[in-house]
A and B are shown apart, each in its own frame.
Chain A
Amino acid sequence: MADYLWKLLPILLVFGGVLGIVPFLVFLERKICAYIQDRVGPNRVGLLGPDGFLEAVVGVPITKKRILGGFFQPLADAIKLITKEDFIPSHAEKFLFTMAPFFALLPPFLAFIVIPVGPDVTLFGQSVMLQVADLNVGVLWILAVASLSAYGVAMGGWASNSKYSLLGGIRATAQMISYEVAMGIVLLSVLMHYDSVSLRDMVGVQSAGLGSWGLWHQPVAFILFVICAFAENNRLPFDLPECEAELVGGYHTEYNSMKFGMFFQGEYIAMLGMGALTTALFLGGWHFPGYAWLKETIGAWVTVFALAAFAAKVMAFVLFQMWVRWTLPRFRYDQLMNLGWKGMIPIALLNLIVTAWINLPKGT
Chain B
Amino acid sequence: MVDIVFILSALLCLASAMTIVTRKNPVYAVIFMLPFFIGMAILFVLLSAPFMAAMQMMVYGGAILVVFLFVIMLINLRPEELQDDFNFTAYIVSALAGGFMGGLVLSFALKGISPGMASAFEHPLQAGEGQPAFGSIESLAQPLFQVHLVPFELVSILIVVALLGAVILAKKRV
State the A residues within 8 Å of B (CB): 95-96, 133, 135-137, 140-141, 143-148, 150-151, 154-155, 157-158, 166, 169-170, 173-174, 176-177, 180, 184, 197
Contacts and interface: CB of A to CB of B under 8 A. Distances in A.
A166 B76 contact: yes
29 contacts: A133-B121, A135-B50, A135-B121, A136-B121, A136-B124, A136-B136, A137-B50, A140-B51, A143-B54, A144-B58, A144-B61, A145-B57, A147-B57, A147-B63, A148-B61, A151-B31, A151-B34, A151-B69, A154-B66, A154-B70, A154-B73, A155-B31, A170-B73, A173-B66, A173-B70, A173-B73, A176-B66, A177-B70, A180-B63
Contacts of A133: 121
A203 B119 CA distance: 26
Task: Name the interface size band of chain B.
Answer: 20 to 34
A177 B54 contact: no
B53 A137 contact: yes
A135 B63 CA distance: 22
Given A96-B31, A177-B66, A158 B73 contact: yes
Q: Which 5 A-B pairs have the closest CB atoms?
A: A147-B62, A144-B57, A140-B54, A137-B54, A173-B70
A176 B69 CA distance: 13
B63 A177 contact: yes
A180 B66 CA distance: 12
Contacts of A144: 41, 54, 57-58, 61-62
A170 B74 contact: yes
A150 B30 CA distance: 14
Contacts of A145: 57
A170 B50 contact: no
Interface in B29-70: 31, 34, 41, 50-51, 53-55, 57-58, 61-63, 66-67, 69-70
A154 B58 contact: no
Given A147-B66, A170-B74, 6 more contacts: A95-B28, A144-B41, A147-B61, A147-B63, A170-B70, A173-B69
